[in-house]
Structure 1
Amino acid sequence: MILISLLNSCDFINHSQALGGLNSRYNDGQPALSGDGRWLALVSNRNGTSQILLYDLRGKQLVNVPGLNQNNVVLDSPSLSRTGRYLVYVSSIRGRPDIALYDRATRQAELLTQGYRSWVKNPQISPEGRYIVFETAKRGQWDVEVFDRGPLIELDIPDGASVVNP
């Protein structure tokens, strides 16, 4: 009887809570915060593979990111733009890492370094989403490279803000 009451008083995390919140019984790590402080991207193994989850700190729940996580693709090193519209990360298919960009507005992901002849890691996106920096081993050592998405992209700026191209 005492054991049953002790077990009932313990704060166990059930499976549905673990999938919807932070600090689950799964391995969650590599957190990245959006510039406005609302969104948190993290790497988790909740579905048996490395995937990126997006957590709404205001709504206190995970949000769906269709088209981001795919079977047989390992994702890590997320970075978010100002309002979380753009997410850059490392996408490894068959062990080969590429820098990828996911646009939450269009729900599309694209590989930015596909065909690149070097190893890449640790991408970071600028607040407005135009520039992406990452480490590359192109010269036989780890160096930093800047990728400019160009002046014609739709910038990640708060609603009502004026646009000033960097």
Structure 2
Amino acid sequence: MPRTLAQQWLNWGMGLSLAGLVVGCSQIEIPFISSSLNSGNSDEQPALSGNGRFLAFVSNRQGGRRILLYDLQQRRSIELPGLNRPGAIVEHPSLSYTGRYIVYTADDRGRPIVALYDRAIQRSQPLTLSYPGQVRNPNISPDGRYIVFESGSRGQWDIEIIDRGLNIELDKEEGRVEEGERGRVGE
């Protein structure tokens, strides 16, 4: 039975509307946007700063394992120039109180080392180049002075502590009173 021109246009219009609904409801991949926290990539090993503002994690965004830093307060990514070197494999970030210091393991020559990144000067420094054996799972104290990690130098996993000394700039928020700095009542 021949269709009228109006029926053909109506069928065509309904078909386009239905196709638009299907496309509009289907899942599409969203490209990585530097200001987003979650992505379609593998994001793992989260570490939270002591003040709860910053989140560091390992991600395979942009084609390689990198440590990323996210400001939870401002909801944006923070650049870390000098931390993620091409070819280096980074793991297990740990943050000081305000996120100034990031300690992590890096493996760029077949042997993992513990390294420290200072956001104030945008530079990493290796801490365990002279350690025999494997190292893993570093953590930094809230003030940034002490770093603990596991070391396999004696054929078993032991805990090692690095004291960065008294001459470092401690990580503490303005107005925050450290334990031991509080005066006693009546002093």
TM-score w.r.t. length of structure 1: 0.92
* Residue number in structure 2 paired with 1:112: 127
- The equivalent residue for 1:132 is 147
Matched residue of 1:26: which SS? coil
State the SS of the aligned residue for 1:15. Answer: coil
CA deviation vs aligned residue, 1:35-62 (integer Å, no higher than 9, x gap): 0000000000002111000000011111
Which entry has the higher C-alpha Rg, 1 or 2?
2
Deviation at 1:13, TM superposition (A): 4.5
1:5 counterpart letter in structure 2: L
- Stretch moving more, 21-30 or 36-45: 21-30
Q: How does 1:1-166 map to 2 (within 5 A)?
A: 1=16, 2-10=18-26, 12-17=28-33, 19-162=34-177
Give ranges in structure 2 of 5+ residues lacking alignment: 1-15, 182-187
- The more displaced of 107-116 and 126-135 is 107-116
Amino acid at match of 2:38: N
* Identical positions, percent: 48
CA shift for structure 1 position 21: 1.3
3-state secondary structure, aligned to 2:84: coil
Given that residues 105 and 113 in structure 2 are in contact (C-alpha distance below 8 angstroms), is that contact kept between their aligned partners in structure 1? yes
Q: Which has the higher strand share?
A: 1
Secondary structure, aligned partner of 1:66:
coil
Please tell me whether the aligned partners of residues 55 and 70 of structure 2 are also in contact (alpha carbons under 8 angstroms): yes
Secondary structure of the structure 1 residue equivalent to 2:112: strand
How large is the RMSD of aligned CA atoms in angstroms? 1.8
* Structure 1, unpaired ranges of 5+: none
How many residues of Structure 1 are paired with residues of Structure 2 in the alignment? 165
Give, as a single letter, the amino acid of the residue that structure 2 aligns with 1:6. Answer: V
